[in-house]
Structure 1
Amino acid sequence: MKIDLTKKPEGATHINPHSGLWVKCFGGNSGSYQYFRNGEWEMGFGCMSNSYLQIAKPEPWTGEGLPPVGTVCDLKFEHWTDWERHEILCHGKTFMFVRELNSGLDREGSMSMDGIMFRQVRTPEQIAEEKRIAELNLMVGAIKDHPGGHHGVDHLAQLKIQEEACINLYDAGWRKQVSE
């Protein structure tokens, strides 16, 4: 029996190789189960048969290499300034087919994989930390060439002192005020 995983319903953990019914197992291979028939989950009676085949769960993408089909990720080419959110629909040796998720237009298209970079979707915490680092870099850049003297330390030590001062000020809530 050839199993078509594209027809697997959400939540299915096994398949009955004799009937082709998808099965959702609760509590191990001999526990309670439901089977998927006519577009709905129905409760099975008795214990699930050990002859049902368990469906392997794919390993989650770690951000390394080519994202698997179905992955939602950020991508950009080397010459792009911003990352864009896409769903990977399929990929070949040199081109991939994607759905663009940034625009809200649900556009699909192909793109060359030459020079493309991928990353996992950023969490709100990661985005906030990236913003914090960018703002800290602006603060350090604004004071690094200030003619306040070096206080008897070498250049790298002075930069470290300035960086630590900016981190402390930022964490205390200090921000650049935009004049109106």
Structure 2
Amino acid sequence: MTSIDWSKAPAWAKSLCLNPAHEQAWLGDEGYSYLIGNGHMVEWTNECAFDHSAFKLVEARPTPWDGQGLPPVGTRCVFSLSQGTEWHKELRDGVEVEILAHYRPIGMSTVAVFAFPCPDGGGREVEQAVADRFSPLPTPEQIAAEERKKTIQEMLDVDQCGTLSRTKFCNLLYDAGYRKVEGGKP
């Protein structure tokens, strides 16, 4: 079965289901559509052709992972190494991984099986870990904020003792290659 293109689903749709006549229908809290193609909602009333419980779930609308619990299968996220634990020799801290499956070894907590790229570009490897080893991918805003913080710290490191005058400090920054970006804030 192919995955549903949720960008084409009505905003109110929570899932794709089959009605008792085996026709596809969008299903929502307030009603359903007769056919997947029409997108119009029939509100839940006593006059409805089908009761909510008569529909068979095909696929629920995916919800973004918020970093709590195991990432859902198919999620791309960041893996964090833990000290004192043996991992695959190619696995690096902070690498982007893809969750392939969930698995519960006998007598243990459920783990996520994930794939990660080999640093030498030679394909992907597989490993498993518990939920607290994963975090959501950083947003573009978080990446920009981290880069800003890093750059400011590099600039401050130019004056290691913190004793330079503003003029000398600015001269050192200029000599180190720092420039105001045109259109940037003063």
Q: TM-score, normalised by structure 2?
A: 0.53
Which position in structure 1 is the counterpart of 2:108?
Answer: none
1:126-137 matches, within 5 Å, as 126-137=142-153
Verify the 8 A CA contact 1:74 1:121 in the aligned structure 2: yes
**Counterparts of 2:32 and 2:132, CA distance in 1:** 46
Structure 2 residue identity aligned to 1:74: V
Relative contact order, higher structure (CA 8 A, sep 6+):
2
CA RMSD, 1 decimal:
4.6
Relative distance call for 1:91 and 1:174 in structure 2 (3 A) is farther
**Alignment check: 8 A CA contact 1:86 1:100 kept:** yes
Cα separation, partners in 2 of 1:136 and 1:59, compared to 1, 3 Å: same
State the aligned residue count.
Answer: 145
Query: Which segment is superposed worse, 57-66 or 7-16?
Result: 7-16
| Residue type of the alignment partner of 1:135 | T
Residue of structure 1 equivalent to 2:16 = 14
Identity, % of aligned positions: 21
What is residue 85 of structure 1 aligned with on the other side? Answer: 96
Structure 2 residue identity aligned to 1:24: W
**Which of 118, 123, 128 is 2:139 aligned to?**
123
Q: Any idea what the Cα deviations from partners look like across 1:128-158, whole Å, max 9, x if unmatched? A: 1111111112222332414449xxxxxxxxx
Could you say what secondary structure the match of 1:69 adopts? coil
CA gap of 1:63–1:114, structure 2 versus 1, over 3 A, is: closer
- The AA in structure 1 aligned to 2:102 is H
Q: Is residue 2:99 matched to residue 1:97?
A: no
For the residues of structure 1 that align with 2:131 and 2:92, how far apart are their CA atoms?
14
Summarize the Cα distance change of 1:29–1:126 in structure 2 as closer, same or farther, 3 Å threshold.
same
Deviation at residue 20 of structure 1 after TM alignment: 4.2
Q: What is the Cα deviation at residue 174 of structure 1? A: 7.1
Identify the residue that residue 139 of structure 1 maps to in structure 2.
155
- The one-letter code sitting in structure 1 at the alignment partner of 2:24 is W
Counterpart code for 2:17: I
Whether the 8 Å contact between 1:8 and 1:22 is mirrored in structure 2 is no
Q: Which amino acid aligns with 1:50?
A: F
